[in-house]
Each structure stands twice: as C-alpha cells, then as structure tokens.
Chain A
Amino acid sequence: MRGQANLIALATAIVVLSGALVAGLAIVDGAFGDADRDATERGTAVELAETLVRSDSSLATRRNVLDATRTQRFDGERLADRYPSLSKHDVEIALDGDVLARTGEGRTGTTVRRIVLVEERQSAAWTPSIEGTEPAVTLPRRTDRAILKLSPPAGTSMTTVRVDGRVELRNESGLAGEYEVPVSRLTTATLSFEADGELTEGDVTVEYFPTRTRSAILEVSVDA
C-alpha cells in the first residue's frame, strides 16, 4: 500500500516535471524569436546615416552640413539605385520630420538620429563704393565664391584683382567682363583692385552667395 502510494507520487512528480519542461521550452522558443534582428537593422541605419552626412555625400557641402536645395531634390529612387540591397527593407529618411525619401512603410524599425546643419545659399548683388586707383573693399557676408563684373571706364585698365591678398585675376592689358573667383568661406573676404586710372562706384559689381544655416535632425529608419 505504501509502495503504491509512493509510486503514484512519483508518477505525479514526473508528469509535473515534464509539464514544467515543456512550458519552459516554449518560453525559450519565444525568447529566441525576436532577439537579434535589431542589431542588423541598427547597423544598416547607422551606415546609411553616416553615408548621408559625410563630406563626400551628394547631399552634403561638408561634413555634417547638408545643402538645402539638394535635400529637397533628394530622390528615394536614387537611393534604391545605388543600394539595391536595401530593396527588401523599409527605409525612411527624414529631415526635421519632413520625409526626404521612403521605401515601403513609414517610420518603423530602428531609427538613428544625426545632428546636421542645413545650409541655404542665396544670391546677393552688391555694388561697392570704390575710389582711387587701388581700392579695397570687404564683402558684407561670408561666401564661398564671388562673381565680379568689371567695367572700368574707357581709357582705364584694371590690371589686378586680389582676394584676401592673394592674386586671383591679373592681366596687364586690362581686365573687363565677368569673372568668378573662389573665396575662402572662413572669413569675410577683402577684394582689392589695381588699375592705372581712377575707379568709381559702379565699375565693379559683385554677386556673392551668403548662406543661411539652421540646425536640423536627420533621422534614418530601417526595418528589416
């Protein structure tokens, strides 16, 4: 009688243990299921974001600085062309919440954020007041290039144009017409002119390209 009671207890114990094992394995199954997809999603998003903010990116003027016009023209199709391997993923690229490009569903998966500046280049025209034979003027704003229209009065030849002391244009027989000169964007540039006669206001007009910069967050989301 005693032996049989023990056997029943043993049988019950075995059943309970087996049940616990099965339940536990079911839990483990679930845990394995959703574990590491995030690592590859995140890796891809990080790479894509880095590609966009690098200085060699077609959207960027320099590292972490995007050009406003180019971001507006940014095409999701070009993204898909260059990275066909992304076609099976849902990718979304947004700048300050505005979606620049998207394949598939909206913002899903892992999102990576980068701080960038968005630079808008405008065009400004300026006629500096100059006088004398070797005037020098400083541009009102910083720019990366300038288009100079030189029209010295009849009988006067402009021989040299210097930007920040560096000779950019020189012609002994006279400069006239439209010239584009590169300018260091790090400081407001000084233009100096040399001519063999008196120059007055209007002989030189300058078109320059100041920038307006704002900060923005670039968001790249990838869903595998």
Chain B
Amino acid sequence: MRDRRGQLSTPVVEAGVGVVLIFAVLTTFALGVPAADTRQAQLDQYAEDAATVLADEQPQHRDATRLSELARSEAGFDREADRLDRQLDELLPDTLLYQVETEHGVVGMERPGGVAHGSATVPTAYGDVTVRVWYV
C-alpha cells in the first residue's frame, strides 16, 4: 500500500513512450517520401519552349532575330519590347505570367518573390536574354 505513490506505474509510462516513439518513426516513413517537384520541371519546360519559339522570330527590321535586337541596345529594346510583350501574351497559356529580362530592360509583369518560377536563358550576340514564367 505504501508503494502506491499516486503516480502511474512505470511499465505504463514506458509503454506510452514506446507507442509515441514507434508512431513518430513510422510517420516519417509514411510522410517522408517527397513528391518530385513536377511543377518546377513543367515551369522550366514552358520557359524553354517560349525561348525556343522567340529565338526564331524576326524583328520588324534587319536580319537579326528579335531577341538579339532586344539585347543589343536601348534603342533596339525600346523598338521591340511592345511586340515581344504581345507575342508572349499570345503564345503562353492564360495560366502563366511572364517576364523577359535583358540588360536594357524588362518586358512583362513583375515577378512576385518566393513564387515558383521557371526560367530559360538565350545567349545572343549582344548579351543574355532570360525568360521567366510562373503560374497565376
């Protein structure tokens, strides 16, 4: 009678701890298999495809491609920027927002920070042009 000290008997406590431990370990198995980042891969592919299509396009003047005109100079950028914007708007599905960055400026929307985005960079004779896309 003197041993009933008003606390749970040790085996019960140990069993409780054991159960919690087992579930903790097994839960990491159940939850711990991360889904492969398929959204990122799809976004990157969208950006690559957009860059591929744009790289082939002719500007209003000259023989160079539109992207190289954009990268070449401020004047080139100003001339081609609107057309590129409209072209991307037409090209990409409505679920995507986009941005094209060159040394001389940025075409498109502002990219919210912390949002998953895909990107593709096209090297041109005058500099790199980077296309970024993200979901609305």
- A residues with a Cβ closer than 8 A to B are 2, 5-6, 9-10, 12-14, 16-17, 20-21, 24-25, 27-28, 30-31, 35, 38-39, 42, 46, 53, 62-65, 110, 112-117, 186-187, 215, 217
Contacts and interface: CB of A to CB of B under 8 A. Distances in A.
B9 A16 contact: no
Given A64-B49, A64-B53, A215-B91, A187 B36 contact: no
Closest 10 A/B residue pairs (Cβ): A13-B15, A24-B26, A115-B49, A20-B19, A31-B30, A13-B11, A9-B11, A10-B11, A215-B91, A9-B9
Q: Which label, helix, strand, loop or mixed, suits the secondary structure of the A interface?
A: helix
A64 B49 CA distance: 7
Given A13-B14, A115-B93, 19 more contacts: A9-B12, A17-B15, A17-B18, A20-B18, A20-B23, A21-B22, A24-B23, A24-B25, A31-B30, A35-B33, A39-B36, A63-B52, A64-B53, A110-B38, A113-B45, A114-B49, A115-B50, A186-B58, A215-B53
Contacts of B31: 31
A28 B26 contact: yes
Contact of A62 (B25, B46, B56): B56
A2 B3 contact: yes
Contact of A16 (B19, B45, B56): B19
Nearest to A28: B29
Given A9-B11, A113-B42, A115-B53, A17 B22 contact: yes
Contacts of A186: 58, 63
Contacts of B19: 16-17, 20
A61 B85 CA distance: 25
B110 interface: no
Contacts of B33: 31, 35
Contacts of A35: 33
A79 to B, nearest CB: 21
A2 B56 CA distance: 88
A115 B35 CA distance: 24
A38 B91 contact: no
B30 A12 contact: no
A160 to B, nearest CB: 24
A27 B30 CA distance: 7
B49 A116 contact: yes
Contacts of B106: none
15 contacts: A6-B11, A9-B11, A9-B12, A14-B15, A17-B22, A20-B23, A24-B25, A38-B35, A64-B52, A110-B38, A112-B42, A113-B42, A115-B49, A115-B93, A186-B63
Interface in B1-52: 3, 9, 11-12, 14-15, 18-19, 22-23, 25-27, 29-31, 33, 35-36, 38, 41-42, 45-46, 49-50, 52
A47 to B, nearest CB: 13
Contacts of A10: 11
Given A30-B30, A186-B63, A215-B91, A6 B22 contact: no
B12 A12 contact: yes
Contacts of B25: 24
A65 B11 CA distance: 72
B92 interface: yes
A12 B15 contact: yes
B22 A187 contact: no
B9 A6 contact: yes
